[in-house]
Every structure is written in structure tokens, then in C-alpha cells.
């Protein structure tokens, strides 16, 4: 490998050029890139003054790469088979990880950096990760994987990814050291342009923002003095900074009481096998004997509760007009009683990917099953969706923003800061002065660039869905820069030692 400012690299699964920007900042020269997404290619070429002719195209069709020092690849996280025909590099092309490993073995660069989602190190993917590392060793490399949070290395984003770093030279591999996380973290407030000293400032052409310095204490994503720096909109969890639908909708104190009654008891095993079970009227009465059917119906009308058919019995024997799914559901129990919990946890039905609710509804329409028990659950049961289009709202004082993803999220930033005094006043002030006043927004394109470590003038498409997909699929530039610098340092130490 050449000295710093003289090395070369190739950029596979290039996206918009996160690897290229990071290694280019270290003085590296890109000899070519591989990308198939048209938006990404156009963005890459525009920002780096690159010709589309230097795009190698679909990695599955690349036969040979030019000689280079470092190979980079942000391998997509699609599901893939680890079963090569005989672990031969020429035998299992067509799957993206295998194609990447084939080109590594063919080109034999001095070092490489591969990036993937954190799920690669999950226990369920243990065999897959072991396979990748074995293939890397078979290609003649010494490698190790690292789980890295971008927040630790220069961006205010909670982005955990797996990086595999490898060397052909054992001495260089032994010399490579991952730098310690930075002591001084870049904060979200800095990205938004906020100074925490009550000075009047303007963030990215938006409304005036105010901030106040508070002593951080590690709790959730970000917190100050024991209070979260963001508010979570969710009916299934509870906390000092959780906003529920009954906090937003016009509800009585009694209705709020019934909502908390369901919230506090729905995860108890007494009411079912799942991690979250609907409760029937008799269950509510066991908890509070004064609960009436009319009160539950009123919460359904408000669309806070939803009724769920829970237990079914047979009304007649099935004729010969059953679908495979209907037959599987009918034979999933040894008794003439079908409970939704049992069906949803039935392994055979899960493996067959049978939609239990739709299948039971079909059997009910055919008059084969009838509902014997109704229960009630919250209408909003998708945690990541949030409530009314909002998942989380982060205050300007927050240290960190959640992972940017290609599909965008329902996460927002507040246009002003509030200082917590006590739980009730904190929530009340937030609801009144930020949420109800509409004092929040999604992050801007410039802020998204900074949260990934790109410059604010990085050119991206105008449409939010397009630029969010591109920036969400990218790597964090400072993390790759840190890894690249550590690779070059390991090389130079060994080279100087030999000299």
C-alpha cells in the first residue's frame, strides 16, 4: 500500500459516496465504483465530478477489478443463502455477499472495509457471520468485525452498524487498533445550529430556537437531569415523557383511568400468551367492578380502543370448499374452540405464513366458526408508527437523533427547548407549547447530511422521499474516515518498522 495521500481504492455498493468522501478526505484516489440505483449514480457523479463511465455497474456482472489498495463495500442487507456449492469463489456468484467475496479474492487489495446492518451479529445470524469470516480467511485475509455506533465517532446519530476490516499482511492486521470513542461527542443541537445559553438564534432558516445548558445523565437515547430529551408518542408503553392518544384527544378523567387500566394489565400472562393481550369486559370488571360496557364502547368510538374477536367455536362441520389456510386453522386445535393467542403462536401456521385474522374471518363468513368472546385492545398497536403521524419529537437539547433510514420516519425536532422542572409540568408544557402549537418539524436535507457526516452543500434530489432514501442508505462518513485512518496508520507503522 502507498503512503497516506497516495493510496487507491475501489467503491463497491457505492450509494452516494460515503466511503469515497471519507477515503478521499484522507488523500485516497478512487479507481472506480459500482452502483445500480439511478438516483444514487446521478448523485454520486454530480458530487464527485465523476463520469458514469467509471461505474462498474452491477456487481454480479463484474469479472475483474483493477489493482488497488483498499476495497470498500456497503453490502446491502438482503436475505441471502450461506450455502455455497463447495465454498469455491467461482461457484456461488449471484448473491451479493458472495459476489463481494469473489471480487476480494480476485483483486487481492491490501486491505478492505465492509459494512452491514447490526443484525449480522445477532444470534440468529451467527452462522452467516461465521461463513463470511471463513470466506475472508480463505481469500487470504486476516479480519475482525466491529460493532460501531456512529455517535461515538463524530455524528449526532444513534446508528449502530457492523464493520469488517481485514488485511492481507498479518503484521498490519495485528497493528490495527480501533480508536477509542471520542470523548467530545457532536450533539444534535450543534447540527441544528443551537447554542445552549439562551441566546436568540436561527436554525436552518426555520423559527427562532432557545436552549439551556443542562447536565447530561445517561438513560435513554438522550436525557438531561433524569428527563428524556424527546417525547415518545405511544399507547403501549408508559413513561414520564410518553404521550398517549388520551393525552391528545378530548377525554375525561374516567376515560384516562380506563386507558391506564388496560395499559398496566395487557402484558400480564393472566390474560393471554402474547406480549400484549386484549382484555374482555369481565377482565375490566375484575380490576374495577364499576366498569361498564358503555364505557368501553365510548373509548372505541373515540378510536382509542378497538374491539377484537378473541375466542371462536364451531357452528357446523366444514364442507369441501376450504382453502389450504382455512384447513390449517381448523386443524390447529384438538378441541372445538379456537383462541387467537393459540393460533398466532402456532408454529405450523407461522411457518406457513398464514394470516390468522383474515383466515378466521373467512371461516366466520362461511358460517363455520362463530365468535364466543370479544375483547378490547388499543387501536394503535404499532410502536414504530407512533400516534397521529408522530413517533418521537426531539428537543434541541437532545444529544442524539435516531438512525436515519431510507423510508424516513415519523421523528421530528422541536422548534424550541423546554427545561424540565417536574414530570407533570414538563409534559404539560411540551403538549401546550410544542405539540399543540405545531412547534416541531422534520429534519431538513442539510441537517440529514450533517447527521450522516456529509457537508451541508452536498447535492441531493429535491424530493424528500428521494434524498431521504439516499442519505438513509449511506454510511456515516466520519466512521469510515476513522477506520481508513487507522488502516493507514497500521500500514505505516509496519512499513517504518521494516525500513
Query: Are 110 and 223 in the same domain?
Result: no
Count other Cβ atoms within 10 Å, centred on residue 400: 23
Q: Are residues 324 and 408 in the same domain?
A: no
140-149, 238-247, 393-402: which range is least confident on average?
393-402
Confidence label for 394 from pLDDT (cuts 50, 70 and 90): very high
Q: Which residue would you say has higher pLDDT here, 206 or 365? A: 365
The band of 211, judged by pLDDT with boundaries at 50, 70 and 90, is very low
Same domain, 150 and 223: no
Tell me what the mean pLDDT of segment 88-99 comes to. 62
371 and 253 in a common domain: yes
- Summarize the confidence of residues 271-292 as an average pLDDT: 95
- Residue 5: is its pLDDT beyond 70? no
Residues whose CB falls within 8 Å of the CB of residue 195, separated by 6 or more in sequence, listed in order: 189, 201, 211
Angle between helices 293-301 and 253-265 (to 10 degrees): 90
Kindly state whether residues 44 and 168 are assigned to the same domain: yes
**Which band of pLDDT confidence, cut at 50, 70 and 90, is reported for residue 78?**
low
Q: What is the pTM of this model?
A: 0.81
- In this structure, the answer to whether residues 258 and 156 fall within a common structural domain is no
State whether 58 and 174 are in the same domain.
Answer: yes
Confidence (pLDDT) at 205: 36
Examine the pLDDT at 77 and tell me if it is beyond 80. Answer: no
Q: Does residue 20 surpass a pLDDT of 90? A: yes
- Give the catalytic positions in this structure: 77
Phi-psi region of 393 (alpha: psi -120 to 50; beta: other; left: phi over 0): beta
Q: How confident is the model at residue 153 (pLDDT cuts 50, 70, 90)?
A: very high
Residue 190 within any structural domain of the chain? no
pLDDT tens figures, 21-55: 999 999 999 999 999 999 999 999 999 999 998 99
Percent of the chain with pLDDT over 70: 88
pLDDT of residue 193: 65
Q: Is residue 451 part of a domain?
A: no
Pair (174, 290) in one structural domain: no
Please provide the average confidence, as pLDDT, over all residues in the chain: 87
CATH of the domain at 109: 3.40.50.150
* Residue 240, domain member (yes or no): yes
- Residue 224: predicted pLDDT: 64
Task: Give the model confidence (pLDDT) of 405-460 as tens digits.
Answer: 998 899 999 988 888 888 889 999 999 999 999 999 999 999 999 999 999 999 99
Q: Is residue 303 part of a domain?
A: yes
Sheet of strand 392-394, all strands in order from the earlier edge strand to the far edge: 242-243, 230-233, 392-394, 411-414, 440-441
Note whether 143 and 281 are same-domain residues.
no
Quick: pLDDT tens for 312-323.
Answer: 999 888 767 889
Question: Domain of 235?
Answer: 207-244+387-443
pLDDT number for residue 87:
36
Any domain includes 456: no
Q: For the chain, how many structural domains are there in total? A: 3
Q: Between helices 477-498 and 18-25, what is the axis angle to 10°?
A: 40
**97-116 residue pLDDT tens:** 889 999 999 999 999 999 99
233 and 278 in a common domain: no
pLDDT in the model for residue 95: 80
CB count within 10 Å of CB 478 equals: 22
CA atoms within 13 A on the CB side of 247: 24
Q: Specify if 454 maps to a domain.
A: no
- 464-472 and 38-48 helices, crossing angle to 10°: 80
* Residue closest to 448 by CA, chosen among 235, 243, 159: 159
426 located within any domain: yes
Residues 214 and 108 in one domain: no
By the 8 A CB rule, do 211 and 196 touch? Answer: yes
201 within some domain: no
What is the rounded distance in angstroms from the CA atom of residue 182 to the CA atom of residue 187? 12
C-alpha cell at 318: 366444514
Same domain flag for 166 and 272 = no
Amino acid at each position: 500500500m502507498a503512503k497516506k495521500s497516495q493510496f487507491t481504492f475501489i467503491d463497491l455498493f457505492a450509494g452516494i459516496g460515503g466511503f469515497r468522501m471519507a477515503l478521499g478526505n484522507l488523500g485516497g484516489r478512487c479507481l472506480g465504483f459500482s452502483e445500480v440505483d439511478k438516483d444514487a449514480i446521478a448523485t454520486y457523479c454530480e458530487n464527485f465530478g465523476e463520469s458514469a463511465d467509471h461505474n462498474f455497474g452491477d456487481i454480479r456482472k463484474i469479472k475483474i477489478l483493477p489493482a488497488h489498495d483498499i476495497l470498500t463495500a456497503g453490502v446491502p442487507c438482503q436475505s441471502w443463502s450461506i450455502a455455497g456449492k463447495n465454498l469455491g469463489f467461482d461457484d456461488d456468484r449471484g448473491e451479493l455477499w458472495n459476489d463481494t467475496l469473489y471480487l476480494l479474492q480476485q483483486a487481492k487489495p491490501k486491505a478492505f472495509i465492509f459494512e452491514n446492518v447490526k443484525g449480522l451479529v445477532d444470534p440468529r445470524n451467527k452462522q452467516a457471520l461465521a461463513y463470511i469470516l471463513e470466506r475472508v480467511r480463505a481469500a487470504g485475509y486476516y479480519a475482525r468485525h466491529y460493532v460501531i455506533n456512529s455517535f461515538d465517532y463524530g455524528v449526532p446519530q444513534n446508528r449502530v452498524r457492523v464493520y469488517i476490516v481485514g488485511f492481507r499482511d498479518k503484521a498490519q492486521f495485528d497493528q490495527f487498533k480501533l480508536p477509542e470513542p471520542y470523548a467530545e461527542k457532536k450533539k444534535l443541537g450543534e447540527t441544528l445550529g443551537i447554542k445552549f445559553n439562551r441566546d436568540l438564534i436561527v436554525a436552518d432558516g426555520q423559527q427562532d430556537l432557545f436552549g439551556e445548558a443542562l447536565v447530561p445523565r445517561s438513560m435513554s437515547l438522550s436525557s438531561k437531569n433524569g428527563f428524556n430529551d424527546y417525547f415518545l408518542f405511544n399507547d403501549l408503553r408508559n413513561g414520564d415523557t410518553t404521550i398517549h392518544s388520551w393525552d391528545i384527544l378530548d377525554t375525561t378523567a374516567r376515560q384516562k383511568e380506563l386507558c391506564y387500566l388496560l395499559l398496566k394489565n395487557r402484558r400480564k400472562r393472566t390474560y393471554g400468551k402474547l406480549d400484549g393481550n386484549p382484555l374482555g369486559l369481565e377482565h375490566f370488571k375484575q380490576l374495577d367492578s364499576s366498569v361498564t360496557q358503555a364505557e368501553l364502547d365510548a373509548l372505541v368510538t373515540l378510536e382509542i380502543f378497538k374491539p377484537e374477536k378473541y375466542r371462536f367455536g364451531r357452528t357446523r362441520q366444514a364442507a369441501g370448499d376450504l382453502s389450504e389456510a382455512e384447513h390449517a386453522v381448523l386443524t390447529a386445535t384438538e378441541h372445538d374452540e379456537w383462541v387467537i393467542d393459540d393460533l398466532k403462536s402456532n408454529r405450523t401456521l407461522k411457518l406457513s405464513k398464514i394470516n390468522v385474522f383474515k383466515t378466521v374471518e373467512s371461516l366466520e363468513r362461511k358460517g363455520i366458526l362463530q365468535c364466543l368472546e370479544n375483547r378490547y385492545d388499543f387501536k394503535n398497536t404499532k410502536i414504530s408508527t407512533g400516534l397521529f403521524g408522530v413517533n418521537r419529537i426531539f428537543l434541541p437539547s437532545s444529544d442524539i437523533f435516531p438512525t436515519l433510514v431510507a423510508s424516513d420516519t415519523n421523528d421530528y425536532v422541536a422548534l424550541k427547548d423546554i427545561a424540565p422542572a417536574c414530570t407533570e409540568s414538563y409534559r404539560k408544557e411540551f403538549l401546550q407549547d410544542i405539540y399543540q402549537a405545531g412547534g416541531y418539524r422534520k429534519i431538513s436535507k442539510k441537517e440529514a447530511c450533517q447527521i450522516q457526516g456529509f457537508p451541508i452543500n452536498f447535492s441531493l434530489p429535491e424530493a424528500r422521499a428521494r434524498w431521504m432514501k439516499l442519505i438513509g442508505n449511506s454510511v456515516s462518513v466520519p466512521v469510515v474516515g476513522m477506520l481508513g485512518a487507522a488502516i493507514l496508520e497500521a500500514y505505516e507503522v509496519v512499513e517504518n518498522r521494516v525500513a
